[in-house]
Structures are given as C-alpha cells and as structure tokens.
Amino acid sequence: MDKNAKIYVAGHRGLVGTALARKLQKEGYTNLLFRTSRELDLRRQAETEAFFDQERPDYVFLAAAKVGGILANDTYKAEFIYDNLSIATNVIQAAYRSGVKKLLNLGSACIYPKFAPQPMHEGLLLTGPLEPTNEAYAVAKIAAIKLCRYYNEQYGTNFISVMPTNLYGPEDNFDLENSHVLPALIRKFHEAKISGQKSVVLWGTGEPSREFLHVDDLADACVYLMQKYDHKDLGEFVNIGVGKDIKIKDVAELIKRVIGFDGTIHWDTSKPDGMPRRLMDTSKIHALGWKHRIELEEGLKSEYQWYVRSA
C-alpha cells in the first residue's frame, strides 16, 4: 500500500472505522476517503456504484455495518439483516466493478456456532446452529465472507475477511440498550460512583469468560494484513483476538478499580449467564506475525478517560 494510495474507509465514524482512520493517518497515509452515511447510503445500490465509479479507490476497509448489543439484535432483526446484507453486496460488487486492488471485510465472532468448541478456530464456520438472538446479523456477516471468497474465486479479486473478537475502545456505544458488555459495565460503575451508590447490581454469576480486544489493536491488525498478505495467504478469513479470556467477574473488579468505585458488586444470579466461554483461536493470525499489544487494564483506563471526556 503506497502512502498516497486512495483508501476508502467505509463506516469511518464507527468504533472500528475511527480506529482505522486514526491508524492510517498515523502511518502517513495521505489519501483517505470518507463518507458519512448521510452523504452516501451504502444500502442503496445505485449510490454505491456511482460513488465507486467516480472515486475509484485503490483499497477499501469495509467497516460499515449496523451493529448493536443482544437486545438491539434481537429486536431489530430485519434491519440488522437487511442493512448488513445490502451494504456487503453493494460494496463488494462495486469494489469488483471499479477495480479495487484489495478489500478488507470486517466480520464478527458471532458467525460461529453457539456451541462451538472453545477456543474457536476458523474451520468451525457453519458447523452448528448460531446464537438465535443475533442470528440475522450473523447470517449477513457469513454471506459477506462468502461473497469475498467467491469474487476471489470467480474474478481473481483480492478481498480478505477478518473476524474480530469482542471489541472495546474510544467511540464505543455506551447506550445501555445497545451496548456491549464492557461499555455497559463502565457506565454502570461510573454512574454508581457519581451518584454515591453503595452497590452495583450485575446480571448472572460473573462466572462466564470472554475475550476483549482493543479496537486500536484491531486497526493495527487490519492495516498489517492489508499491507502484507493476500487472500491466498489467509484462506477464507482470519480471526483477530488476543487469544486469552477473562471471567466477567474479574473484568467487573478491574473496571471497578479503574473507575475508583468503592461500593460492592451484587450478582443477580436469577438472571441468565449466557455462554460459559467465548474465545477466538488466534493461532492463524499469530502465525502471520501479528499479536495484540494493548492489555485489558491499560485499554480500560483509556476507554474510561474517553467516556468521561465525551459524557
């Protein structure tokens, strides 16, 4: 990737897109292309094709998506599948038509079966039923992986797909209805601290464990892969994670400490726990020479600072 190559970051205002833009700017890429969803609705076929035909980007990071937490995914299933399928089909086709040199498609860990053995390696795709609450989103993401693969097979394009684990970082969504586990915990502890509450109630037992990747590390991995590897080196797609997990109760203690909340944590064990363990097998990305740099405590500190500044 030349420093003056034209690089389109689709979804540059989201969690992943902003991190990608930061990373690319930091690395000295000067010709970055952005459009807000108001300027360019990627769900609209004609608009998307006209944009690609006119701008002819050399590289594309496809980070535009409709995303949300479990509740949003479950409630707005039709929007999640329609928006994400439309964005993927329109962008991938337009990228092929306009001669994009390389495209990186961002997926999600939810493409894996609900009861996949842990840690989850890339070969487990479509080997069992998905988690029903985010099935619609996951199917759209699976379709995007397959689109990239088949364009490569039929048209000789160079479209690669990456599946990040749970992400966190600046620009995260702290809306309680829509947020993922880390921002939700940060907000709960922060609000408890500000209002002087003595305890915080959290759902479940705290026993399940999860893996968290800082979005700056994801951006680093994406740019690294874009610079160094072709789809032939990667296979259908590659996981991006830290390769280790942590119990939710340990995460809660960590966040409590980072925020400086002095009260106690009460676990409401009448509430469901979710899957006992979700973790990526990161051997493939490690073998490609990439490893995460930001450890959870450090990442949480910067995330909390960001939250306080932006709240």
Partner 1 sequence: MSAITSAESGIGTFAGRRTWITGHRGMLGSALVRSLTKEGADLLLATHQELDLVNQSAVYDWVEKNRPELVFHVGAKVGGIHANATFPADFLYGNLLIQTNVIDAAHHFGVKKLVFVATNCMYPAIATQPISEDSLMTGAVEDNIRSYAIGKIAGIEMCRAYRKQYGCNFVSVIPPNLYGPGDNYHPQYGHVVAGILRRSHEAKLAGKRELVVWGDGTPRREILHVDDAADAMKCVMAAPMTHDMFNVGCGHDLSIAELANLIAEVVGFEGSIVYDKSKPNGTMGKLLDNSRIRALGWRPKFDEKTGLQNAYADFLELLETPIRNGRF
CB of 202 to partner 1, least distance (A): 28
> Is 137 an active-site residue?
yes
Place of tokens 């990456």: 162
d(CA 62, CA 160): 10
Binding mask 127-166 for partner 1 (x = CB under 8 A): xxxx-x--xx--xx-xx--xx-xxx-xxx-----------
Gyration radius of the chain over CA positions = 19
Amino acid at 269: T
Q: Which stretch binds partner 1 (CB under 8 A): 85-93, 209-217, 247-255, 274-282?
A: 85-93
State the number of binding residues for partner 1 (CB under 8 A): 37
d(CA 142, CA 137): 9
CB of 163 to partner 1, least distance (A): 16
Q: Which stretch binds partner 1 (CB under 8 A): 38-46, 60-68, 250-258, 265-273?
A: 38-46
**Residue 176: in which H helix or E strand, if any?**
none
Residue 213 three-state SS: strand
CB of 104 to partner 1, least distance (A): 18
Catalytic one among 137, 150, 151, 304? 137
Place of tokens 């190559």: 5
* 78 part of the interface to partner 1, by CB under 8 A: yes
The DSSP 8-state label assigned to residue 127 in this structure reads S
CB of 305 to partner 1, least distance (A): 37
Give the CA distances from residue 154 to residues 45, 97, 107, 146, in Å, rounded to whole numbers and listed in that order: 21, 13, 21, 12
Phi, psi of 300 (to 5 degrees): -70, -35
Contacts 24+ apart (CB under 8 A), 35-39: 35/10, 37/13, 37/64
Near partner 1 by CB under 8 A: residue from 75, 173, 205, 302: 75
* 93 part of the interface to partner 1, by CB under 8 A: yes
Q: Which stretch binds partner 1 (CB under 8 A): 83-91, 185-193, 214-222, 297-305?
A: 83-91
Binding mask 42-71 for partner 1 (x = CB under 8 A): --xxx-------------------------
* 126 part of the interface to partner 1, by CB under 8 A: yes
CA 136 from centre of chain: 16
Q: Are 113 and 273 in contact (CB under 8 A)?
A: no
Positions in the binding site for partner 1 (CB under 8 A): 44-46, 75-82, 85-86, 89, 92-93, 96, 126-130, 132, 135-136, 139-140, 142-143, 146-147, 149-151, 153-155
Catalytically active residues, by annotation? 137
